[in-house]
Amino acid sequence: MSDNNERRVVSVIVVNEASVLSRITDLFSGRGYNITSLTVAPIPESKYSRLTIVTSGSVRVIEQITKQLHKLIPVLRVYEHEDLVEKEMAMVKFPASENIADISTLCAAYNGKIVNVGENVIIVMVADEPKRIENFLKIIKRYSPKEIVRSGAVALER
Amino acid sequence: MQINGAQMVIEALTLEGVDTVFGYPGGAIMNVYDEIYKQKDFKHILTRHEQAAIHAAEGYSRASGKVGVAMITSGPGFTNAVTGLADAYMDSIPLVVISGQVPMSLIGTDAFQEIDAVGISRSCTKHNYLVTNAADLPRVLKEAFHIASTGRPGPVHVDIPKDVTAEIAEFDYSVELELETYKPHVKGNPRQIKKAMEAISKAKRPLFYLGGGIINANAAYEVRDLVRRTGIPAVETFMARGVLSYDDELLIGMLGMHGSYASNMAMSETDLVIGLGVRFDDRVTGKLSEFAKNAGVIHVDIDPASISKLVNATYPIVGDVKNVVNEMLELTGQVKPENYKSWRETVVNFANLHPLTYHEDSERIKPQWVVERVGKLLGDDANISTDVGQHQMWTGQFYPFTRPRQFMSSGGLGTMGYGFPAAMGVKAASPEKTSINFTGDGSILMNCQELMTAVEKKLPVINIILNNNFLGMVRQWQTLFYDKRHSETDLSVQPDFVKLAEAFGGIGYRVNTKEEFDAALKDAVKKDVVAFIEVIVHRMENVMPMVPAGGSLFNMMLLEKKGDK
């Protein structure tokens, strides 16, 4: 079996109750699994929340992660995605002195726009596949970004 | 009915059929202890340390098959209990442990005896709860017992703030449990079972690999049937001792780091491993890449996460081992025991080549002799607990176990100090049997305060201290792998164990000869009071054979032939 670390997206449906997030993160830290990103929000009109975890590991590790997650009592379902639509959002703050037209065009190419213009700074958002978000963040370096925030990925099976 | 939280705890325990609770009171749990004072439904055994309360509940559970119950207070009461929780978690022992917590209004303020108990127990329990409303208590307690005892069993911790134990709410224990997210898979996939049985019938050198899960599932007698009907030899893990009787022809012995040569060779030569209720622990497998290298693997376990965790299963079967073995028994027709005749002979040859044994010494008692001797004198009439170390392995190797639930030991966590309190719990669960704890001069000092509990509650455990004036197992590793640098393992400075037992009102014996041992054991069994039998044994005896950590099972250090040195 190959021990190559593979990037994987795992979605977890859990009962929305106290300390459930700690149960998940404790499991990852206790067993030495990686978390690249983790997002969590309640599922509308239900008692459940949905987590999207981006992780990496060998095939065996990923299998263990899904099994160990499933063993947690408040976990209803675990999806280890194969064929999915994945999106992430990022917000970036630039000095207002940068070329706003350039930045705006770039944002549009990455499914984003300027969301706030202030006296000293402008704030933009983009929402795209995580890989493309990375690209975007690389490209905008030349406009001296002051602050960057990424949301972590969310995903749905096709 | 409208009652307070503390009364709910009592009601719930009574309705769950609990007859014995082990515990230690303190500030945050006082409301519950006030109700314990008023009730007559169950007996409370006051240990002298919270860790001992949990181990006693473990011993009670392991011997009886019921859920063990322990009760402790907040802060240090809880942290003292953590080792016990971790121990039960590793060995899949069903417990419900109830702890007091500071009142809700003080949580998070660094109050006196406050600690984030559920934060700590999260990683060493099957599940845990912080109860914030008395109205939740009936459901939580019912869930706790259900979760502890079903699926892969384990400890469940319920933390109850003091004001919640005083709060009055409706108590209705007939509430239906709605555990949408917890549904253990107990029935094995029939097609997989069929395929597995076909593989067995085609195998040339199949081998049963029996684990502690069989005891948890109460499946030992079904497994005995399956082994007998198929004529396939079997090895047991340390935790499975007693699944087969020691005199079963098809039982090769214990496998693993201190398993017998024959067991480990059989595992290395087999072409089909039939794992039942096992988890391929590193102390069992040795070097994974060499473990049963040329074999297919049937793996039956209730815990899907145990399957293909370390060794890939060719035939994974998730289910309760009792259910699955019963299904397998239906399909044994195609399996021809005579096909394995030459394989059985091979195994016997392994056993004859390097039998599990030891060399007697004319000067000093050998520790293995003590274990064998107790086996001869008490055998089936005793339940056997152990602490952790050399004595533990010698017990696993040499005691003639005849039935499941006869043997309790800290297998997964390896907790020194487990044995004595566990043996008290065993005695409470089955008073008709003699409760023996094999221990060492290192282990016994971790929880020797339990002499007081044993005297007060009339739990006449017989502790057999195999005294080699060493922290023996560590000393053995230092001798073998650290060039005899015996760093901090010389325990020559010791208490007078006889006087120690007597100081608490127990009875003590110091034994130098075999005759003295027989006399002491017979006397202790008669006296019906907690006893220390200190046996002065050979100082430098090693547990053999041995697979060095990380080595391959077939590459064992063997007992030196007599005269070798």
**pLDDT tens digits, one per residue of A104-137:** 999 999 999 999 999 999 999 999 999 999 999 9
Q: Cα angle vertex B192, ends B188, B196, to 5°?
A: 110
Catalytic-residue membership of B112? yes
Tokens coding B266: 């059989």
* Phi, psi torsion values for B437, nearest 5 degrees: -120, 110
Domains of chain B are 2-170 (3.40.50.970), 190-353 (3.40.50.1220), 367-536 (3.40.50.970)
Domain assignment present for A119? yes
Domain assignment present for A109? yes
Q: What is the DSSP string of B386-410?
A: E-SSHHHHHHHHH----STTSEE--
Residue B222: count of CB within 10 angstroms of its CB: 20
Helix, strand or coil, per DSSP, at residue B148: helix
> pLDDT tens track of chain B, all 565 residues?
999 999 999 999 999 999 999 999 999 999 999 999 999 999 999 999 999 999 999 999 999 999 999 999 999 999 999 999 999 999 999 999 999 999 999 999 999 999 999 999 999 999 999 999 999 999 999 999 999 999 999 999 999 999 999 999 999 999 889 899 999 999 999 999 999 999 999 999 999 999 999 999 999 999 999 999 999 999 999 999 999 999 999 999 999 999 999 999 999 999 999 999 999 999 999 999 999 999 999 999 999 999 999 999 999 999 999 999 999 999 999 999 999 999 999 999 999 999 999 999 999 999 999 999 999 999 999 999 999 999 999 999 999 999 999 999 999 999 999 999 999 999 999 999 999 999 999 999 999 999 999 999 999 999 999 999 999 999 999 999 999 999 999 999 999 999 999 999 999 999 999 999 999 999 999 999 999 999 999 999 999 999 999 999 999 999 987 755 4
pLDDT at B262: 98
Domain assignment present for A150? yes
Domain ranges, residue A31:
6-82
Cβ distance B122 to A76 less than 8 Å, yes or no, reads no
Between CA B18 and CA B69 the distance in angstroms is 8
pLDDT at B563: 58
Between CA B450 and CA B53 the distance in angstroms is 10
Domain assignment present for A146? yes
- Whether the Cβ atoms of residue B51 and residue B449 lie closer than 8 Å to each other: no
- Give the 3-state DSSP-derived string for B502-563, with helices as H, strands as E and coil as C: HHCCCEEEEECCHHHHHHHHHHHHHHCCCEEEEEEECCCCCCCCECCCCCCCCCCECCCCCC
| Smallest Cα distance from B246 to chain A, Å | 35
In sign, the C-alpha dihedral spanning B13, B19, B23, B24 is positive
Q: What average pLDDT does the segment A2-21 reach?
A: 88
Q: Catalytic one among B162, B322, B366, B457? A: B162
CB contact A73 to B (< 8 Å):
yes
Question: Of A31, A52, A82, which one is at a domain's C-terminal end?
Answer: A82
Tokens coding A57: 């590991």
Q: Which of A63, A68, A75 sits opposite B181 (nearest CB)?
A: A75
| Smallest Cα distance from B547 to chain A, Å | 26
Per CB-CB distance under 8 Å, the chain A contacts of B182 are 73
Q: What ipTM was estimated for this complex?
A: 0.91
Question: Of A48, A82, A116, which one is at a domain's C-terminal end?
Answer: A82
Question: Of A32, A63, A82, which one is at a domain's C-terminal end?
Answer: A82
| Same-domain pairing of A117 and A141 | yes
Cβ distance B147 to A60 less than 8 Å, yes or no, reads no
- Whether the Cβ atoms of residue B407 and residue B390 lie closer than 8 Å to each other: no
Catalytic-residue membership of B78? no
Tally of structural domains, chain A = 2
Q: Which of B132, B305, B312 sits opposite A71 (nearest CB)?
A: B305
Domain assignment present for A1? no
Cβ distance B305 to A67 less than 8 Å, yes or no, reads yes
Domain assignment present for A142? yes
In eight-state DSSP terms, residue B319 is S
- Whether the pLDDT of residue A158 is over 70: the answer is yes
Q: Catalytic one among B239, B473, B546, B556? A: B473
Residue burial B230-266, b: 16+ Cβ < 10 Å; e: rest: bbbbbbbbbbbbbbbbbebebbbbbbbbbbbbbbbbb
Residue B546: count of CB within 10 angstroms of its CB: 20
| Same-domain pairing of A109 and A135 | yes
Domain assignment present for A70? yes
| Same-domain pairing of A10 and A76 | yes
> What region, left, alpha or beta, does residue B398 occupy, with left being phi > 0 and alpha being psi -120 to 50 degrees?
alpha
